Structure 1
Amino acid sequence: MALTIINHPLILDKLTRMRRQETSSKDFRENLNEIGQLMAYEVFRDIPLTEVEITTPVAKAKGQTVGIPVVLIPIIRAGLGMTEGIQKLVPTSRIAHVGLYRNEETLQPVQYYAKPTEEMDKSYVLVVDPMLATGGSGAKAIEIAKGWGAKNIKFVCLVAVQEGVDKLQKEHPDVEIYTASLDPKLNEKGYIVPGLGDAGDRIFGTK
């Protein structure tokens, strides 16, 4: 499984803004959506195209259009913060949902919601979450997507650590990972260091 770190200057600038403790929820959300949109250019690089014939104001011409359904699967809550930016580029994409929370004692994911879309087996699927920490939630969400029939799956996050990457590579070696940063480590509570803090709380202004 490939790991792609998308370290474009505009992404790194926005990520630095998000890391700052004093950044407001509004600015955090806006930068997260913008990074999601910028990352999507690289993530969709290999999406299949279909040739079509169109008519321009001048003449008939051949063109290309996205030839496969696209499904975004945000891991609720924080994954919702990245979907808007990606969906702006692919407005026809469908959104499935996976609700997971982390047991703070065991650090294991607990599922509380899951809703697929149609034609999962024929779709280009992105599982989306800003953080890839222990990897438990990401691995579980991919497992759920595969249970729905999804085959062409990519995992897209903003910040990752090697432990999370290793877990996804071990459990889902067929899934490519895209991130904007590979941070150094996890702390004793399973949070990424330096990371962003709790992305869900920062997106929605909760504690």
Structure 2
Amino acid sequence: MKFYKLLALLLVVSFSQASLAQSFGGFDSYGEGTKSLLTTVVKQLGVSDPDNSVKVKVFDTIDVALEGNWYSYWVGMNDLASSKYQDGAEKGFVQVMLPTNDSGIWILTFNKAKDIPQIIVSMAQIRHGSQDGALSVYNEKKNDTENYELKNESDKFAFIQEKGKVAFSILNVGTGTGSVVYFNQFAVDL
């Protein structure tokens, strides 16, 4: 009987440990698609990451783009046939195109200089919809002069910057349609 109690206790502890690890998150808790994407990005940047800590930092920066259902396709420095980087040895740049079901299209760009312990991440979210929707975003940001600055505008487009940040809202309207591109840039310290 003691054997069964000990076995039951070990099973409970094992399941508790697994649940605890899952609840704390981390690289092992990500889905396979997310793991694959992060592994590709870090590898293409030429960053050593044996403990997955860099992947977690990158995820924490881009997680908003990875919500819901998405597909990703990446390009590096040697994808273009006329690229002079065909040997694949040059690292430091990767761009990911990420169409989603719910949050439009994301373009994620990652840059890392060889001897600088930092990754620069540029994120562009492209949203397309009605002209009224785009004009609503335009009016909201244009009228919030405390947080946003209108850099340029015409009858068909506007370029608005969030003050103190590399963060822009770029708006374009056509007959009945409108597009908004949200652009942000972040630094991931290694």
TM-score by length of 1: 0.20
TM-score, structure 2 normalization: 0.22
Instruction: Choose between structure 1 and 2 for higher RCO, CA contacts under 8 A separated by at least 6 residues.
Output: 1
Larger radius of gyration: 2
